[in-house]
C-alpha cells in the first residue's frame, strides 16, 4: 500500500512503511503494527473490518493457513487454526472479496530499476485455495483496468528494487471493476 497499489480493507490498512533497499527489509514496527498477535486482537480487527473476513498466515500457501470467517464468535477458533497450520507466521485479517477473480500479472525487472509487465493469467479455478487451472491471457478485467493492474505491478517492482521474473497477484472484483493486491511472488514459478 505504501507503493500506491490498491489493497482491500485489512487490519494493517493504517500502516505506512518505507522499504529499505539496502537491507531488503521493512521496519520491524511495521510488521508488529500489521500483525495480529492474539485471538482477542483478531476478534477486534475482524469486527472493525466487517464480515465476512479471511484470516491468513503471511507465510501460508497452497491452501494452508487461511480461514474464511462469517461471524464474530468463530474468529478465535479460526485464528488458532491458522496459527497452528503455519507456526510462527505473522497473521493478518482481510475483508473477503466475494465473487472475485484471481488475476496475476507476470513481470520482469532488472537491477537497473527497469520493470515491464509481460502478460497475465486468470487463476480463478481453484480448489481449497489452490490453483487448478491457469488461463491466459486474462479477459475478466476491463482492458483499462488490466492496464492499471500492469502499471501497479511495475510500480511495486520498482518501489522495492525487485530484480527477477515474478508474479503480482490480485483479486479482481468484476462487480465494481476494482482490483486489490494479494502478493508478489519473488521467484520464477513453475507455471512460468
> For residue 73, what are the CA distances in angstroms to 15, 39, 65, 69, 140?
27, 11, 19, 9, 35
Cα–Cα–Cα angle for 161, 120, 115, rounded to 5 degrees: 25
Is 127 considered catalytic here?
Answer: no
Instruction: Report the alpha-carbon distance of residue 95 to residue 65 in Å, rounded.
Output: 16
The bridge status of strand 91-95 relative to strand 64-69 is unpaired
Instruction: Report the alpha-carbon distance of residue 16 to residue 30 in Å, rounded.
Output: 7
- Bridge-partner residues for 122, per DSSP? 103, 135
Judge whether 55 and 70 are in contact, CB under 8 Å: no
Q: Name the residue with cell 462487480.
A: 175
- Catalytic residue selected from 21, 68, 128, 187: 187
Q: Measured in Å, how far apart are the chain's first and last C-alpha atoms?
A: 26
Give me the active site residues, please.
Answer: 187
Amino acid at each position: 500500500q505504501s507503493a500506491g497499489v490498491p489493497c482491500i480493507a485489512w487490519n494493517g490498512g493504517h500502516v505506512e512503511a518505507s522499504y529499505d533497499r539496502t537491507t531488503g527489509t521493512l521496519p520491524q514496527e511495521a510488521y508488529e503494527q500489521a500483525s495480529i498477535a492474539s485471538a482477542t486482537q483478531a476478534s477486534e480487527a475482524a469486527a472493525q473490518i466487517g464480515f465476512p473476513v479471511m484470516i491468513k498466515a503471511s507465510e501460508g500457501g497452497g491452501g494452508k493457513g487461511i480461514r474464511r470467517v462469517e461471524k464474530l464468535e468463530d474468529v478465535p477458533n479460526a485464528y488458532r487454526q491458522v496459527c497452528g497450520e503455519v507456526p510462527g507466521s505473522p497473521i493478518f485479517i482481510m475483508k473477503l472479496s466475494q465473487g472475485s477473480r484471481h488475476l496475476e500479472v507476470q513481470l520482469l525487472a532488472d537491477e537497473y530499476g527497469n520493470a515491464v509487465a509481460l502478460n497475465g493469467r486468470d487463476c480463478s479455478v481453484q480448489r481449497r485455495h489452490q490453483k487448478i487451472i491457469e488461463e491466459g491471457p486474462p479477459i475478466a478485467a476491463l482492458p483499462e483496468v488490466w492496464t492499471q493492474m500492469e502499471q501497479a505491478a511495475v510500480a511495486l517492482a520498482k518501489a522495492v528494487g525487485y530484480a527477477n521474473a515474478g508474479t503480482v497477484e490480485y483479486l479482481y472484483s468484476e462487480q465494481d471493476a476494482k482490483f486489490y493486491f494479494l502478493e508478489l511472488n519473488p521467484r520464477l514459478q513453475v507455471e512460468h
